[in-house]
Amino acid sequence: MDVLFVQALINGLLLGGVYAAYSAGFSLIFGVMGVLNLAHGELVMLGAFIAYGLFELVHLDPYLSIPIAAVSLFLGGYAIQKFIINRVIEQPHLMSYILTFGLHLILANTAVKLWTHDFRTITTSYSGMNAAFWGLNIPYARLITFFLAVAVVIFLWLFLNRSETGRAIRATAQDKYAARLMGVNVREIYALTFGLGAAVTGMAGASLSPFTIIFPEMGLGYTVTAFCVVVLGGMGYMQGALYGGFALGVVQSLAAAYLSAGISVAVTFLLLFIMLVLRPTGLSGKGIAG
């Protein structure tokens, strides 16, 4: 087997890990509340900026910022859902999509005002370090994000299935009226869910900061990729974020390595379209149907 093929495969899996890390939160929010969070990418952006800011100000290693990003975004996400999105939760879902889009505009452009359009990145003494063997190459930073993604999915699965709050969340997702009758405070659950989704996304953003270029308008690209990942994996299905991420990452990497970069991008959207039309429940078949 030629080296490029194996390398592209490795790149794809690592990329998939990155994708899964920041898409799991999106899937959770949609799965539980039916909210297509069009401001999702801004959560990644904020996580990355928190890491960058702390790095610049107090030379905090970006990986140590991960918990800080998690807590900050949990609080922010909880507040957004509780005070803003919850107001339209009884209305047709379109309202929440447009609302989150408005939030996207506000967050991204306020960030531009505060931090300017400059492109930033974190360069540490260990930036770009990679393991090289057999003609292959594995960047450590991406490997760390890969493990983070797996950890997040495992954590979410355990939380949703083994904890009291998690069960309440699942109950609400299945049937909010029944849950309400059972004594679940649906609005509170929604706020917690959004907070949780935002927290894991923020963590992903912080973990990306060493190897990605950070700028206030970076969000939209991440939102679009998150769409693709969760549709491929299955909306609302946590493990689906991993499957979808890997599938997308591998397809993109192989296309870039053997065909062309342009085809790699075209294929991404084509794949998204085909999946929706043929199998909206995702590759796993466990996603929420249309």
Partner 1 sequence: MMVNRRTVLIVLVVFSLLAATASWSAAAEPFRVGVAVSLTGAFGKEGTMVQDAYILWMETVNARGGINGHPVELTFYDDKSDPATSAKLIDRLVIGDKVDLLLGGFGSSLVFAASAAAERHGYPLISGAASSNRLFERGFKYYFSTLGKATEEVRGCVEMFTAVTPKPKTAAIIGADILFTSLACEGYREYAGRHGIEVIHYELFPMAFQEYNSLLHKVKGKDPDLLLVGSHLLVAMRVMKALKEIDYSPKAVAFSYGPTVPRFAEELKGDAEFVIAASEWAPNLPFEGAVFGSAADFNRTFSDRFQRRPDFVEAAAVGGALAQQLAIERLGLKPPLSGADRAAIRDKLVSDTFPTFYGVIDFAPDGANVAQPPVAVQIQDGALKTVYPLEYAESEIRYPFQAWKQR
Partner 2 sequence: MKAQTARKRLLIWGVLTLLLCLFPAFVSSQYLLRIAALMVFWIGMAGSWNLMSGYTGYVDFGPVAYFGIGSYAAALVMTEGGGSFFLALPAAGCTAALVALLIGMPTLRLKGAYFAIATFAFAETMKQVTLEFDRTFGIFFFQGSHGITLPIAPYGNAFFLYCSLAVASLVLLAHHWIENSRFGYALKAVHEAEDTAELSGVNTFGVKLTAYAMSAFFLGVFGGIEAYWITYITPADVFSVHKTVQMVIMTLLGGMGTFLGPIVGAVFLTGVSEILGLTFVEYYLILVGMIIVGVILLLPRGIVGTWKERKRLRSL
In whole angstroms, how close is the CB of 279 to partner 2 at the nearest point?
A: 11
List of residues contacting partner 2 (CB under 8 A): 30, 34, 36, 84, 87-88, 91-95, 97-99, 101-110, 113, 224, 227-228, 231, 235, 260, 262-263, 265-266, 269-270, 272-273, 276-277, 280, 290
Question: Considering the rule CB under 8 A, would residue 120 count as an interface residue with partner 1?
Answer: yes
Question: 32 is written with which tokens?
Answer: 């539980």
Question: Considering the rule CB under 8 A, would residue 15 count as an interface residue with partner 1?
Answer: yes
Residue 95, contacted partner among partner 1, partner 2, none, CB below 5-8 A by kind: partner 2
Kindly give, in sequence order, each residue whose CB lies less than 8 Å from that of residue 114, ignoring residues fewer than 6 positions away.
Answer: 216
Question: Considering the rule CB under 8 A, would residue 65 count as an interface residue with partner 1?
Answer: no
Kindly give, in sequence order, each residue whose CB lies less than 8 Å from that of residue 46, ignoring residues fewer than 6 positions away.
Answer: 69, 72, 73, 76, 107, 111, 202, 205
Cβ nearer to partner 2, comparing 178 with 266:
266
Using DSSP's 3-state secondary structure scheme, residue 210 falls into coil
Stretches 20-28, 84-92, 111-119, 237-245: which one binds partner 1 (CB under 8 A)? 111-119
Cβ nearer to partner 1, comparing 120 with 176:
120
Residue 270, contacted partner among partner 1, partner 2, none, CB below 5-8 A by kind: partner 2
User: Rounded distance, CA 28 to CA 32, Å?
Assistant: 6
Residue 212, contacted partner among partner 2, partner 1, none, CB below 5-8 A by kind: partner 1
Cβ nearer to partner 1, comparing 58 with 132:
132
Cβ nearer to partner 2, comparing 178 with 265:
265
- Angle, helices 219-233 vs 3-33, to 10°: value is 90
Using DSSP's 3-state secondary structure scheme, residue 137 falls into strand
Cβ nearer to partner 2, comparing 57 with 277:
277
Residue 130, contacted partner among partner 2, partner 1, none, CB below 5-8 A by kind: partner 1
User: Rounded distance, CA 135 to CA 190, Å?
Assistant: 48
User: Rounded distance, CA 23 to CA 163, Å?
Assistant: 22
Cα dihedral 227, 233, 236, 242 in deg (nearest 10): -100
Question: 255 is written with which tokens?
Answer: 């296309």
CA distances 233 to 81, 262, 264, 275, 290, Å, are 25, 23, 19, 10, 14
Question: Considering the rule CB under 8 A, would residue 110 count as an interface residue with partner 1?
Answer: no
Question: 281 is written with which tokens?
Answer: 């429940």
Cβ nearer to partner 2, comparing 59 with 113:
113
Question: Considering the rule CB under 8 A, would residue 261 count as an interface residue with partner 1?
Answer: yes
Question: Considering the rule CB under 8 A, would residue 252 count as an interface residue with partner 1?
Answer: yes
Longest dimension (CA), the chain: 61
Stretches 96-104, 131-139, 151-159, 228-236: which one binds partner 1 (CB under 8 A)? 131-139
Binding-site ranges for partner 1 (CB under 8 A)? 3-4, 7-8, 11-12, 15, 109, 112, 116-121, 123, 127-128, 130, 132, 137, 139, 141-142, 211-213, 215, 217, 221, 252-254, 256-258, 260-262, 264-265
